[in-house]
Chains A and B, each alone.
Chain A
Amino acid sequence: MKPKSIAATNAKNRFRAFKLAPLIALLMFATVSAQKKDSCVECHSQMEGALSEAVRLSKGDVHDARGLSCVDCHRGDATKDDMAAAMDRRKGFIGKPKPADLPAFCGRCHSNADFIKTFNPGLRVDQEREYSTSVHGKLLKGGDQKVATCVSCHGSHGVRAINDPLSKVFSLNVAETCGSCHANGEYMKSYNIPHDQFDKYKTSVHAKALYDKQDLSAPTCNDCHGNHGAAPPGLASVANVCGQCHVRQASLFKSNPHKTVFALMQVGECIQCHSNHGIMPPNDEMLGVGDQSACTQCHGQGDSGYAAAEKMKARMDEMSASISRSNDILNRAERAGMEVSKAKFELTEAKDALTQARVMVHTFSTDELDKVINPGLDISNKGYNAGGAALAELSFRRKGLAASLFFILFFAALIYLKVREVEKRQALQKQS
Chain B
Amino acid sequence: MNAETVRLWLDDRLGIGSIAAVARKKEIPVHRHSIWYYFGGMTLFLFSVQVVTGILLLLYYRPSAETAFESVQFIITEVKFGWLIRSVHSWSANLMIATLFIHMFSVYFMSAYRRPREMTWLSGVMLLLLAVAFGFSGYLLPWNKLAFFATKVGTEIAGVIPLVGRPMLRFLRGGDDVTGATLTRFFGFHVAVLPAITTVIIGTHLMLVQMHGMSVPPGLEGQNIKKMKFFPNFFLRDLIGWVLAIGALAALAALFPWELGEKADAFASAPAGIRPEWYFLFMFQTLKLIPPKILSFDGEVIGILAFAVGGLMLFIVPFLDKPGNPRRKRVFTVIGVIVVLYIVALTIIGYLD
Contacts and interface: CB of A to CB of B under 8 A. Distances in A.
B244 interface: yes
Contact of A339 (B232, B237, B260): B260
B260 A423 contact: no
Contacts of A27: none
A422 to B, nearest CB: 6
B247 A408 contact: yes
B250 A408 contact: yes
A337 interface: yes
B250 to A, nearest CB: 6
Interface residues of B, number: 25
Contact of A404 (B239, B250, B262): B250
B69 to A, nearest CB: 10
A146 to B, nearest CB: 55
Contacts, number: 61
A222 B18 CA distance: 98
Given A339-B77, A341-B73, A401-B250, A412 B240 contact: yes
B246 interface: yes
Contacts of A415: 236, 239-240, 243
Interface residues of A, number: 22
A339 B69 CA distance: 12
A423 to B, nearest CB: 6
B240 A416 contact: yes
B274 interface: no
A18 interface: no
Contact of A401 (B236, B237, B240, B255): B255
Interface string A303-328: 00000000000000000000000000
Interface string B223-261: 000000100110011011001101100110011110110
B236 A405 contact: no
B121 interface: no
A398 B252 CA distance: 11
Given A408-B247, A419-B233, A423-B233, A342 B73 contact: yes
A179 B83 CA distance: 64
Given A415-B236, A419-B233, A422-B232, A337 B256 contact: yes
A419 B247 contact: no
B155 to A, nearest CB: 27
B78 to A, nearest CB: 10
B341 to A, nearest CB: 33
A397 interface: yes
A188 interface: no
Contacts of B73: 339, 341-342
A423 B244 CA distance: 21
B96 interface: no
B228 to A, nearest CB: 9
Interface of A: 337-339, 341-342, 397-398, 400-401, 404-405, 408-409, 411-412, 415-416, 418-419, 422-423, 426
Given A397-B83, A401-B251, A418-B236, 6 more contacts: A337-B255, A339-B260, A341-B73, A397-B254, A398-B254, A426-B233
25 contacts: A337-B256, A337-B257, A337-B259, A338-B257, A339-B76, A341-B73, A397-B84, A398-B254, A401-B250, A401-B251, A405-B247, A405-B250, A405-B251, A408-B244, A408-B250, A412-B243, A412-B247, A415-B240, A418-B236, A419-B233, A419-B236, A419-B240, A422-B233, A422-B236, A426-B233
